[in-house]
Amino acid sequence: MTGNLVSDTWATIRDRPDAAGSCPAQVMEALATFQADPCASGWYGFVVRLGVLAHPWEVHGLLGDRDPFPAVTALALADAKLARDAAASHEA
């Protein structure tokens, strides 16, 4: 992966309000977990938490060529959308 994913991720989410199922601290914790053990399930956890706070286009822009598991990323973003939609329906 190129660039500094940690600092780029923090810059993207640091001012985001907490959401149902995610907050900036949880995103960074999930990224640290992935970095400690780079596997698809760790990547999924990071991306789904990130995807709850950031729009998919922001996630893709952030990851760029640093995405080690594009298929997992797509699944995680779809699940993050379901989580956002479910939270929004509960607020209505």
- Residue-wise pLDDT for 23-57, tens only, equals 999 999 999 999 999 999 999 999 999 999 999 99
Residue in 91, 84, 89 with CA at minimum distance from that of residue 20: 84
Which stretches within 1-92 are classed as H helix?
Answer: 5-13, 24-36, 40-53, 56-63, 70-91
Can you tell me whether residue 19 is helix, strand or coil?
Answer: strand
Closest alpha carbon to 46 in 75, 26, 67, 20: 26
Residue whose C-alpha is closest to residue 46's, from 25, 17, 64: 25
Q: What does the block give as tokens for 18?
A: 């907490």
**Whole-structure pTM value:** 0.92
Distance from the Cα of residue 48 to its chain's centroid: 5
Q: Give the mean model confidence (pLDDT) for residues 4-22.
A: 93
Q: 21 vs 91, which has greater pLDDT?
A: 21
